[in-house]
């Protein structure tokens, strides 16, 4: 996994305690490989395996890490590429209407 993605792991884990999180493992190998890496790294949030990156591309993601916030009403509230701090994640979630 990319070095920047690894830097965000702890922040994502803390945010996942307060808001629904779905990771997308883009071009990261098989489901078994993704599950093994998630377990080794102690990452507990649900993750979609996007082996060929087609789902991510359909969402407009062409680089990682990407942080996409889907508001409670189902609309995409924000999308960004690159490192996002925990406070940045929490602010984007708050702006989207997640008040966990």
Paired strand residues for 70? 76
Q: How many domains does the chain have?
A: 1
**Domain limits at 36?**
3-96
Q: What is the CATH number of the domain that holds 91?
A: 3.40.30.10
The predicted-structure confidence for 19-52, as pLDDT tens digits, reads as follows: 999 999 998 989 999 999 999 999 999 999 999 9
Whole-model pTM?
0.85
Distance CA 88, CA 30 (A): 31
| pLDDT, position 100 | 66
| Partner residues linked to 23 by β-bridges | 47
């Amino acid at each position: 996994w990319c070095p920047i993605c690894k830097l965000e792991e702890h922040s994502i884990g803390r945010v996942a305690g307060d808001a629904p999180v779905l990771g997308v493992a883009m071009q990261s190998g098989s489901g078994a490989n993704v599950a093994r890496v998630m377990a080794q790294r102690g990452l507990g949030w649900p993750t979609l395996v996007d082996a060929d990156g087609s789902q991510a591309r359909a969402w407009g993601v062409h680089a990682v890490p990407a942080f996409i916030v889907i508001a409670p009403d189902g609309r995409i509230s924000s999308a960004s590429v690159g490192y996002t701090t925990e406070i940045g994640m929490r602010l984007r979630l708050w702006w989207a209407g997640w008040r966990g």
